[in-house]
Amino acid sequence: MNPSTLVIPLIAPESVATQPDSRNSTSLAVGESTPIEQPVWGFGSHCLELDGVRGIAILLVTLYRFIKEWDPSAHWLLGLGKKYCDLGERGVDLFFVLSGFLITGILLQTKTSEGYFKNFIIRRALRIFPLYFTSLVVCLFVLPLLMGTQVFDLPRSNQFFLWTYTSNVYMAWTNTWCFGPLDHFWSLAVEEHFYLVWPAIVYCLSSKALLRLAIGMIVGVGAARMFFTLRPECGVAVDALTLFRCDALAMGAMLAVLLKHGLSADQVNRVAKWVLPLLVVAGFAVVFSGKRLLGIPHSLWGCIWVAAMAVVVTRPRSHRLSHCLRASWLQWLGRYSYGMYVVQLPLVTMLPLSFAAEHWNRIGLSPVLFGIAYVSALFAMTCVIAMASFHLLEKPFLKMKRWFA
């Protein structure tokens, strides 16, 4: 995958305030003196643990995005870090699985509600559009005007596809990463396509049919991606086109359907905790091989993340894993993940390692310390910009969602 092909669906789907699933309700059996502890996630409730999962995903993507700028010739440790930071690009698969799970859960829970389509679309638009379109205005017009920079000339020449959420379609058609510092917006296009199509599918299909469709998508998309990876003219398409990346979304959807209308939380947990270690070993083997392997890593890491999420959401809240995912720093990263994702690539494009080296070499830092300082500085700037964006731009629109509950 091209190094700039990350993202994320970092956009946190909201929970719907409804009655929790009856299967997960706390009850006392005859002769018992203590209640059965509920799993951390239930339909209609906000799950802090999944905010922590989102925090892990954005941390992976952020470190990958910045560490890949290191010069491997400067020191062997930098070369080692750059070689194996590719694991971070698997964060995109985690974001897709997370989005498929949460969105499908919301849609299943509100399927019979009045204003099902209208409320979902408007709430998604209030979450996504303000930052997305503001970032386009800033990157395509404001920064070039104020700073005289030419780094955004490439996306400006193809801006129609950015405004219409079809950048990934144009990438696939031309078989090029043709949006420069906005290449990573391909994944937002994938998410938007999912939001437009999936509500109608959930509304029209029974849960059993929806489960069959999700499984069919996982198998069919994986097979199609393996076939088209062999065709050089489809090299970008298999990494960015919605048709070839929707299997991770389907994996999350499958888990949501199983928990809503299929298996119990205990059954899902028992299967996932045995399968997950085997998948992780295979996943790291693929990462260390450094090969595309017919696009199999996309499918494999999707399976890893959905198994990991199954373990997370079916554990009791008192479990050590739950406490770790509710850590304040992970919650913080999860809250600002959307803004962090949007600004990362433009920031690293405008402040490349070579530019920083010209100013920091005077300090006399070793190559390793300089590399760490560079990543730390970009990380801090990303966090500050994302936090400002959330409170000054996004939050006022998020407050409007209460009118479309």
pLDDT tens-digit map of 131-164: 999 999 999 999 999 988 889 999 999 999 999 9
Which residues are CB-contacts of 52 (< 8 A; sequence separation ≥ 6)?
324, 325, 326, 327, 330, 331, 334
SS3 190: helix
Nearest alpha-carbon partner for 7 in 76, 98, 83: 98
Q: Is residue 287 part of a domain?
A: yes
Residue 225 has pLDDT above 90, yes or no: yes
How far apart are alpha carbons 291 and 322 in whole angstroms? 34
Give whichever of 83-92, 235-244, 294-303 has the largest mean pLDDT: 235-244
- Which amino acid, 186? W
Residue 13 has pLDDT above 80, yes or no: no
DSSP 130-163: HHHHHHHHIIIIIHHHHH---TTHHHHHTHHHHH
Give whole-number Cα distances, 298 to 94, 167, 206, 292, 303, in Å. Answer: 10, 20, 28, 9, 9
pLDDT (mean) for 104-111: 94
Name the DSSP letter for residue 14: P
How far apart are alpha carbons 318 and 32 in whole angstroms? 19
Q: Is residue 15 part of a domain?
A: no
Q: Is residue 16 part of a domain?
A: no
Q: Is residue 130 part of a domain?
A: yes
Q: Is residue 31 part of a domain?
A: no
Does the CA dihedral 42-100-396-59 come out positive or negative?
Answer: positive
Question: Token pair for residue 9?
Answer: 């669906």
What is the residue whose two structure tokens read 């010069």? 71
What is the residue whose two structure tokens read 């596809």? 161
CB atoms within 10 A of CB 390: 18
Q: What pLDDT was estimated at residue 36?
A: 55
Q: What pLDDT was estimated at residue 48?
A: 92
Tell me: the pLDDT tens digits for 22-68?
A: 444 433 344 444 455 677 777 777 889 999 999 999 999 999 999 99
Q: Is 364 left (phi over 0), alpha (psi -120 to 50) or beta?
A: left
Of residues 177 and 28, more confidently modeled? 177
Q: Is residue 34 part of a domain?
A: no
Question: Token pair for residue 262?
Answer: 């299929």
Q: Is residue 10 part of a domain?
A: no
Question: Token pair for residue 267?
Answer: 């059954």
Q: What pLDDT was estimated at residue 289?
A: 74
Q: Which domain holds residue 116?
A: 40-404
How far apart are alpha carbons 84 and 77 in whole angstroms? 11
For the chain, the domain total comes to 1
CB atoms within 10 A of CB 2: 16
Q: Please report, in angstroms and rounded to a whole number, the separation of the first and last CA atoms in the chain.
A: 39
Maximum Cα–Cα distance across the chain: 75
SS3 111: coil
Q: Is residue 12 part of a domain?
A: no
The HSE-up count of residue 113 (CA atoms within 13 Å, CB side) is 19
Question: Token pair for residue 42?
Answer: 């239930």
Tell me: the pLDDT tens digits for 243-278?
A: 999 999 999 999 999 998 878 888 999 999 999 999
